[in-house]
């Protein structure tokens, strides 16, 4: 799956499944798309959602996740512009979902 398709897919998936389940803002991390710094949310990994979603939905989410980041990376979303972001929580940075 191409990254653009995965980005669009994760946007729709987040809206349809009301993700992230825990609504904790990561203050101080600025969205590289819209510049907001109070709307960044960390998404749950597919493993964390195991049992919370239907198997087909979980499989699709895992495929989207894997298309955007490596398995050990952190994925987030800006709840203002709904763009997926790669998060570096140690450095307090958000990077675009596309290289």
Domain spans of the chain?
3-96
- 41 to 21, 55, 76, 97: CA distances (angstroms): 10, 24, 5, 14
Query: Residue 75 has what pLDDT?
Result: 94
- pLDDT value, residue 36: 94
* Mean residue pLDDT across the chain: 91
Token duo for residue 33: 């798309």
- pLDDT of res. 22: 86
In whole angstroms, what is the distance from residue 78 CA to residue 36 CA?
8
C-alpha to C-alpha distance for 16 and 14, rounded to whole angstroms? 6
Per-residue pLDDT of the chain (99 residues; tens, 9 = 90+): 788 999 999 999 999 999 999 888 898 899 999 999 999 999 999 999 998 899 999 999 999 999 888 767 799 999 999 999 999 999 999 999 766
């Amino acid at each position: 799956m191409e990254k653009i398709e995965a980005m669009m897919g994760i946007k729709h998936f987040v809206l349809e499944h009301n993700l992230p389940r825990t609504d904790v803002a990561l203050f101080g991390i600025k969205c590289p798309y819209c510049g907001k710094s109070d709307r960044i949310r960390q998404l749950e990994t597919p493993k964390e959602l195991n049992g919370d979603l239907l198997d087909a939905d979980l499989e699709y989410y895992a495929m989207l996740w894997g298309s955007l980041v490596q398995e050990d990376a952190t994925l987030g979303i800006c709840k203002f512009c709904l763009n997926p972001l790669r998060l570096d929580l140690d450095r307090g940075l958000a990077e675009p979902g596309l290289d």
